[in-house]
Amino acid sequence: VAPPPEPDTHRVRNPRGQGDRLRVELLDAAAELMAVHGSIDKVGVRAVAAAAGVSPTAVYRHFESHTDLLWAAVQYSFDEFARAMAGAAASADDPYERLAAMGEAYMQFARDHRGKYRVMFSNRVPLPPRTEPVGMHAFDQLVAVVTEVLAARDDDRDPRFVSVQVWTWMHGIVDLMGSHGEVPDLWPDPDVMLAELRVRLEIGPRQH
């Protein structure tokens, strides 16, 4: 059931001042394990350590506990997601194109990093809350772009409400298509879904 422990090729020990490198390697490994399992429950200390080619004990030089490691890995994934979205937002000047680019980046992230996506948005993290609800930053980005789009359209809908509509629908598409993807005839092309979403929610240039 579990993938072989994979002792990894013999790791070279990090030089003196740079022990923090392992921290990043562990976060990478943990996020990747989440990505593979799509769940947080099987990402154990031992599995993460093995994936990083290190003994379980080494984890405790960088994280206080198993829980601490998981939290850090989730936040790490959120950062990656936020960067992807920010990159998409910066890729276009026109508000319509910017919103479209963000939509495509969202779908792509969900497709390419399914496990991470699920851990962030779908599988609720069964960990005690620690910091601010992270990931809301990305939502604020969305609201900002939607505000621009509505202004350009001369549309007086509430940007937050429209943003929630966009987000919920996007999430439904990527989450359901991901988890029930084994029924191939059922699903239309995701890009078609996305295009229809734009039409239905009227967030493209006005047709007159």
Partner DNA sequence: TGTACATCAGTGAACGCGCGTTCACTGATGTAC
Q: Which spans of this chain sit near its own copies (rule: CB under 8 A)?
A: 37-39, 41-42, 118, 121-124, 126, 129, 133, 136, 139, 160-161, 164-165, 167-173, 175-180, 182-183, 186-188, 193, 196, 200-201
38: left (phi over 0), alpha (psi -120 to 50) or beta: left
Q: Are the C-beta atoms of 122 and 174 separated by less than 8 Å?
A: no
Among 3, 24, 61, 136, binds DNA (CB under 7 A): 61
Instruction: Count other Cβ atoms within 10 Å, centred on residue 191.
Output: 11
46 scored as a contact of DNA (CB under 7 A):
yes
Q: Which is nearer to its own copies, 108 or 123 (CB)?
A: 123
Size of the site for DNA (CB under 7 A): 27
Cβ-defined contacts of 41-50 (< 8 Å, 24+): 41/126, 42/2, 43/70, 43/73, 45/69, 46/5, 47/2, 47/5, 50/5, 50/6, 50/7, 50/8
Give the binding range for DNA (CB under 7 A) out of 64-72, 73-81, 90-98, 153-161. Answer: 64-72
Q: Which is nearer to DNA, 77 or 163 (CB)?
A: 77
Q: Are the C-beta atoms of 86 and 141 separated by less than 8 Å?
A: yes
44 touches which of DNA, its own copies, none (CB within 5 to 8 A by kind)? DNA
Q: At what angle do helices 66-89 and 136-153 cross, to 10 degrees?
A: 20
Among 4, 16, 126, 156, binds DNA (CB under 7 A): 16
Please give the single-letter amino acid code of residue 156: D
184 touches which of DNA, its own copies, none (CB within 5 to 8 A by kind)? none
- The residue ranges that bind DNA (CB under 7 A) are 2, 11, 13-22, 44-47, 54-61, 65-67
